[in-house]
Each structure stands twice: as C-alpha cells, then as structure tokens.
Structure 1
Amino acid sequence: MSRLVVVSNRVADLRQATQSGGLAVAIADALKAKGGVWFGWDGNTLENETEKLGIDRVGDVDVISSPLTVEDYSQYYIGYANSVLWPLFHYRVDLVDYRPQYFEGYMRVNGKFAALLKPFLKQGDMVWVHDYHLIPFAERLRALGCRHKMGFFLHIPFPPADIIAASPNHAYLVEALLQYDVVGFQTSTDLNNFNRYVEENIPDAMGADGVIRCGGRTVRALRLPIGIDVAQFTELAEKTFEDINIDHMRRAILRQRQIVGVDRLDYSKGIPERFEAFSRMLHLHPELEKTVTFLQIAPPTREDVTAYAEIRMRLEGLSGSINGKFGDIDWVPIRYIHRPVPRPRLAAMFRSSEVGLVTPLRDGMNLVAKEYVAAQDPADPGVLVLSQFAGAAEELEDALIVNPHDTEEMGEKMELALRMPLEERQNRHARLLDRVKQSDVGIWMETFIDQLEGAGGADSVAA
C-alpha cells in the first residue's frame, strides 16, 4: 500500500487527543487511521533562515515541520495567503491587499517547503496537499524532479472567474492546480467555478468526460465534501462537565434556552450580522426576553491582519450595546467568549444548546454545522440554523436555511427554531444525521485516496 504524505500550512500536535480547526481535525483523524507523513510549518518564526527541521514520530505518523523566517511569515502567510487569497476566495474583493512582494514570498516559501520535503519522499508515496497556502506546491515539487502522484484539496470556496481575476496571478494559480493529478473541492458550486474557468481560459482542455487534459497531463477535478468523525464527536458530546451540566440545569429551571455559535473570529463568518439578527429577534418578539441567551465563542485568529482587529472591536461594541439595551440584573442576552474552548467542552456545549447558529457569509464547508448535528441527543435534539452560503448547506437541507445578509429573516428563523415541536425536531435531526454520516471523514479520506491511487502519475523520483 502506498504511503500517504500530507502537506498543509500547519502541522498539529498529534499527541493531543483532539484538535482545533476543521482542517487540523480532518487531517489528524485521517492520518491516525492510515499512518504516513505530515509536513508543514511548525508555527514558529525566526529572524534568520535555518534548515533545521522538527521530526517527530507519533504512532504510525512521521511529523516533519519547519519554522518560517519573519519575512516569509509576513509575505507568504499574512501577505499573499491571508491578505490576497483568503478574501479573494471568499468573494471579498474589497478586502484584497495585493502587493508584488507578497506573491514573491508565497512562491519562495512553497519552493522552500518543496525542497525540504523532497529528501523524505520514497518511491510509491502519494502526496496530498491541503488548502490555499500551498497551491503551487506540486508545481514546485515537479520542478525538482518529483513524479509522484499528487492530489490537492481546497478547504475554502473557489470563486467565479470574474472574481479570481482580481488577482494578477490568477492564470498561474489555475495552471499550478493543473500540476496535480486530482483536485478536490467542497461543493458543486466550487467545482463548477473551477471547471468554467478552465473551459473559458484553456481551450480544448476540458474533456466531455469532465477530465482535464492539458500540457500532456491528465487532471481529475471532483466534488468531495469533507466530514467529521461522527462516532468520535458523538462520544465527546456525551461526556459530562460539571459546570456545563450545572448551567444547563439552571437554564432548565428558569425555562431558558440557549443559542450557540462557534467560529474563528473572521469577517467571513458573519458574526456581526448574527448579533444584529439576535437583537432583531428580541425586538420583534419581546416575549422572548429573559427566556433565551446567545453564547458566541469566537477565538482569535490572524490578529496581524488589520481586518481582524476591526471585526473584534465591532463585535465587542455590538455585544455591549445589545446587552445594555435588553439585559437585566438576572439576564445577559449575549455571552461573548473571545478565547479557544477545548473540543470536548464544545461538544458538550452543542449538546446542551437548543439552537446551533452557523451563518457564515461564505464558507468552504463549515464543520461546526456537522459537529452540532452529531452532538445532539436524538430523543430531544436541537435545531440547526444554517447559512445558504456555507458549503454544508448543499448537504444539510433539513436545517433551517437562511440568508446571512438578511438579519430579519435570521431573527425569524431563530424564533422558529426555538418553538419547533419535538416531533419535527426529531425528524429533521434524523435526516441531518444520516447526511452527516454519509460524508464521514473516513469516507472523505478513502474516496480521495482511491481517486489519487487511480490517477496516472508516475511513482519515481528523478535523481
């Protein structure tokens, strides 16, 4: 069996029982099950260049990691990846901050990473690269003589051609993706956007069978929605935490219910709109005052990017304003937590919350939606309110689907969720859970690997 070599921007600590972040969770679960190599940035920055690598063996996985220089971190990570690609791929052209040195840093780091990984590759290895930070990775490896089968999975959206064209490097980005043997996307929309770009810009490359043939290479693009380890997350949700149980019992005694949202602090997640929708609900339904609280957990991320500091200030202002308007001595409408919460505790919080609010303005998938479903008690499940622009909405049609830009509609759907009768909640949850199980992380991993194993790449490394 071929060895799996996973490459991602960050490597996580596999010695931890659980991971934070959708990509880290999915990769950790996949590698622990199959074994192989995980390569990427170790999260550290140094003033000067170093070729020293961190190498750790955890079970059947070799974790190989490298630091970044301060300059590389600034240009590759903060610059091109998160000030150009992230807003661009989330349809926020207005937030793109393109600078030529950012792209130079992006290419430089991809080249360095490729050169560092090459000595560890063995004949027969399959290389699986993840996400927007590393789009050029296969092209850089192939330039070094590597002929392994290589796959790429994009965890964030892939935008329409007229949006991606806002990057001066858009043609190169797509050409770099065509250096992989298999390219995976979260949704049909993402796959169609990619295929349409190829059809419009690379004549005769797209075959009638959907296979792309370009420059002597054959590339298969596919939709493959990522999932979670459903059984593991359900087990986590069933564990008890005294403080969470006490809070749940207190709310039950007071006949109060809880809406929960869990997101990294990011402008793509629609958290300010969510706060405003909650406020609108209380305004339109004053009978709900003192009967419902909104718990929003939003740990910090990419604090070096200006847009993230701005959204933090906006949220702190909104939560304070709403609590000041509606709150009372014995009731705080919004509880806003700006720090990470361990995954087992999140699972328990999901299970004890009557409504899960997942309303990004644009998201590749959003595994929180699937985690909320998996965490519920089937006998008395909560209700998922889900943005139509989350990738998960393509699968989870039995959620209450909302337009995250329409705060009044969101408010009404939250109110509907709070008064939904038990039988309807049970029926919706049963169908949602079935869909979540159909795209379990194990199925996602095995399907992608099967596609990569069947690809036509050679398995040798040039001397």
Structure 2
Amino acid sequence: MSRLVVVSNRVSMPTERGARAGGLAVALADAMTPGSVWFGWSGKRMPATSNAATIVENKGVTYATIDLSESDYHRYYVGFSNGSLWPLLHYRTGLLEFRRDDYEGYLAVNEIFADRLTPLLKPDDIVWIHDYQLLTMAEALRQRGVRNRIGLFLHIPFVPPAVLHVLPSASVLVRAMAAADLVGFQTHGDRMNFLESAASCMGAAPDATNGFIHQGHRTETIVAPVGIDADGFAQAAKRAANMAETKRLIESLVGRDLAIGVDRLDYTKGLPQRFDAFGQLLHRHPEHLRRISFLQIAARSREDVDRYQSLRRELDRKAGDINGAYSDFDWTPLRYMTRAVNRNTIAGFYRLARIGVVTPLRDGMNLVAKEFVAAQDSADPGVLVLSRFAGAAEDMTEALIVNPYDADAVADAMHAALIMEKDERITRHAALLAKIRKHTAASFCRDFLRRLKFIERATG
C-alpha cells in the first residue's frame, strides 16, 4: 500500500501541536494517518545545513526534518520566499525585493530538500508538496530520478502573467511547478492565472480539462479549497464560552457589542486599513460610540523582517490615534494585542462577537472567516464582514463583501452588521454554515489525494 509523503517548509511536530495548531497542521490532520511521512525543515538554524534527515516516529507517523544553516535560512526563507515570492503572489509588487543571491539560495535549498528526501522514498509513495517555499522541489525530485506521483498545492494566491513577470526568472518557477503531476489551488481564479502563466512561459496551452502537456509530461490542475472541521470547531466554541478567559472578556465588555479580527501580523491582512475603517465607523456612525469594542488579535510573525517591524509601529500609532480620539474614562474602543492566543480561546471569543472582520488585501483562502461562522450561535449569530480579495469570498457570498481599500465602505458594512435584524442574520449564517460544512479540511485532503491517485492508476 502506498504511503503519503507530505513535504512542507516547516514540519509541525506532534509535540508542537498545542502551540501551533492551525494552518497546515489543521488542514492535513485527516491525511496524516499511520504510515504517513511528513518531511521538511525543523525550524532550527544551525552552523551547517543537515546532511541527512532526523527521523522521529509518533503514533505511526514518521516526521523527518532537516536543520538549515543561517545562510540558507536567510537566502531561501527570509530573502526569496518572503522578500520576493510572498509580496509578488499577493499582488504587492511594490514591496518585492529581488536579489540574485537569494534566488539562487532558494533553488539550492529546494535541491537540498530533494537530496535529503529522495533516499527516504519508496517506489509507490505519493508525494504531496505544499506552498510557495517549495515551488521548484518537484522538478528537483524529477532530476534525481524520482518517478513517484507528485502533487503540489499552493495555499496562497497565484497571479496572472502580467504580474508574475515582474519577478525575474518567473518562467523558471512555472516550469518547475509543471514537473508535478497535479497542481492545486484555492480558487478558480488562481488556477486560471497559473494556466495562463504556463501558456505565457512555456507555450503550454490548457486543454478542456484544465491540464497541459510540456516536454511530454502532462500536468493536471485542481481547485481544492482548504476548509476546517466546522462541527468540531463549533463544539470547541461552545465549550470555550464557559472558559475563564471568555467570561473575563464578557465582563470587560459591560454589555457592549464585540467586533473581532484575528490575523497574523502581516501586511497582506489589511490591518492599517481595518483600523482606519473602524475609526470611520465611529466618525460616520456616532450612535455606536460607547456601544462597541473592537478586539484585534495580530500575532507577531517574521519579526526578523524589517517590513513587519514597520507594520507593527504603524498599527501601534493608529491604535493610539483612535483610542485617543474616541476613548472615554470607562471605554477603550480598540483593543489591540500582538501575542498569540490559544485557538480554543479564540473560538470562544468568536462566539461572543457581533461582527467578524476579515478584510485582507489579498489572501489564498482565510480560515478565520470559516472559523468565525462555525463558532456562532445559530439562534443568534454574528455577521461576517469579508474582503472580496480573500479566497473565501469566492464561495461565502452571504457575508457582507467589501473592498478593504475603501474605509468608508467597510465602516458602513460594520454599521449594517450592527443594526441587522435577527432574521437576516440567521438566514445569512445558515447559508454560510452549510457551505463550510461542505468544504472541510477532510474534503480538501480527500479531493486532492483522490485526484492524484487517479492519475497514478491511469498513467503509473
């Protein structure tokens, strides 16, 4: 029986699950059954990059990790992955910083990943590579003679050719991605952007089934939106409603409505624009003064990147300006915190909230939107305000869809959410809940792997 071998930039070790639950670990929970392998970076920076993977077994799952040297880490991860690819693939070309040395370091680390993984593979293994840090790994594995079925899934957006070609050597990345048998995306728009880029970079025209052939190799594509365990998260939110932290938050609100935003501290999340919108809500709709509190949780990330330090300073200033302008002696309108909060605790906070504000400038999917919906009390739910540029907006059309660049429009949507009648809130929530129950974390894994295994049966 074939094994599933998951490859990602960072391996979520079983001992870290409590602290790092979320993201890829949550999305892949149903796929990582006994016999599976998870391969990637350990998260450790050492004097030299590992010559071989360190193997740990836990509950039948094999975790194989390598350490990176400081030089490899900075060129591959800080430099090219987060300095070039991250802004590019989020349409922020003005923030893109390209250095040839970083690009070469990215290629080199993808080669190192391939070198360290190849000896661990068995002939019938299915390899599933994840995300933008490893776009060239499928090709690197092919160059080492690996003939296994290889899937690649991009969790963040993919841009059209006009944007992609801002990056030097973009064609190299697209060609390398095409070495996979199946390339997956969160939305139909992202898939079409990739197919147009393949045609632009390689002259590989897509066929009727959204695949193409390049140099004798067929690459198929799939749209497989990442989801959550909606019912499980709903149960967690119900339990969390009785936790001490949730009760403390209730007491602090003193009967006021709660608006909530939960994000990583990242410039793609639209946090400065969100703060501006909340300020506009208080300015344009003064009837909400002293009647609402906004809680923004923005866990710090990538603190060794200057741009993120600058973002934090900007948010500190904007929060101070809003609170200075509107606070009263017994009311602070904007509560802003940058420490991480336990996912179960956040579930309880979502359940309290009248508004969930999810307004990224661009996002591959955004599971916060789905978690907020799942956490609500169906008998008296809150309202989701959602950016049109989040991948989730392609399906979650019953949310109040906004352009995050328009602070007045976002403020008006928050106002509409606060005054919305219960019957409309219930109707919108029921439709959204049905959708997130359909596209779950389990269905994401099932749909992608079923398609990849079918390719294996057809051509292997």
TM-score by length of 2: 0.96
Partner of 1:24: 25
> Aligned partner of 1:184: which letter?
G
Partner of 1:283: 283
Deviations 1:336-372 (A, max 9, x none): 0101111111111111111100000000000100111
Q: Which runs of 5+ in 2 are unaligned?
A: none
Partner of 1:108: 108
Q: Does 1:43 align with 2:36?
A: no
C-alpha deviation, 1:244, in angstroms: 1.0
Aligned residues of 1:205 and 1:214 also touching (Cα < 8 A): no
Partner of 2:184: 184
- The 5 A counterparts of 1:139-218 are 139-218=139-218
Q: Does 1:325 align with 2:357?
A: no
Please, what is the CA RMSD of the aligned residues?
A: 1.6
Distance in 1 between residues matched to 2:303 and 2:334, nearest whole Å: 23
3-state DSSP class of the match of 1:389? coil
| CA 1:174–1:52: 2 relative to 1, 3 Å | closer
C-alpha deviation, 1:119, in angstroms: 1.4
Aligned residues of 1:90 and 1:268 also touching (Cα < 8 A): yes
Distance in 1 between residues matched to 2:94 and 2:22, nearest whole Å: 26
| CA 1:250–1:336: 2 relative to 1, 3 Å | closer
- The 5 A counterparts of 1:48-63 are 48-51=48-51, 53-63=53-63
> Aligned partner of 1:238: which letter?
K
Q: Which runs of 5+ in 1 are unaligned?
A: none
Partner of 1:345: 345
> Aligned partner of 1:170: which letter?
A
> Aligned partner of 2:432: which letter?
L
Aligned residues of 2:171 and 2:202 also touching (Cα < 8 A): no
C-alpha deviation, 1:24, in angstroms: 3.0
- The 5 A counterparts of 1:60-459 are 60-239=60-239, 240-249=242-251, 251=253, 254-456=254-456
Distance in 2 between residues matched to 1:234 and 1:394, nearest whole Å: 23
Deviations 1:160-184 (A, max 9, x none): 1011101111101110111000000
3-state DSSP class of the match of 1:31? coil
Relative to structure 2, which stretch is displaced further, 240-249 or 161-170? 240-249
C-alpha deviation, 1:256, in angstroms: 0.4
| CA 1:35–1:379: 2 relative to 1, 3 Å | farther
Relative to structure 2, which stretch is displaced further, 148-157 or 297-306? 297-306
Distance in 2 between residues matched to 1:339 and 1:247, nearest whole Å: 16
C-alpha deviation, 1:61, in angstroms: 1.2
Distance in 2 between residues matched to 1:70 and 1:316, nearest whole Å: 31
Deviations 1:88-116 (A, max 9, x none): 00001111110000111101111111111
Aligned residues of 1:4 and 1:127 also touching (Cα < 8 A): yes
Relative to structure 2, which stretch is displaced further, 333-342 or 41-50? 41-50
Distance in 2 between residues matched to 1:75 and 1:246, nearest whole Å: 44
Relative to structure 2, which stretch is displaced further, 386-395 or 191-200? 191-200
C-alpha deviation, 1:35, in angstroms: 4.9
TM-score by length of 1: 0.95
C-alpha deviation, 1:59, in angstroms: 1.4
Distance in 2 between residues matched to 1:94 and 1:434, nearest whole Å: 39
Aligned residues of 1:114 and 1:141 also touching (Cα < 8 A): yes
| CA 1:203–1:53: 2 relative to 1, 3 Å | closer
C-alpha deviation, 1:204, in angstroms: 5.0
Aligned residues of 2:258 and 2:294 also touching (Cα < 8 A): yes
Aligned residues of 1:274 and 1:359 also touching (Cα < 8 A): yes
- Percent identical across equivalent pairs? 43
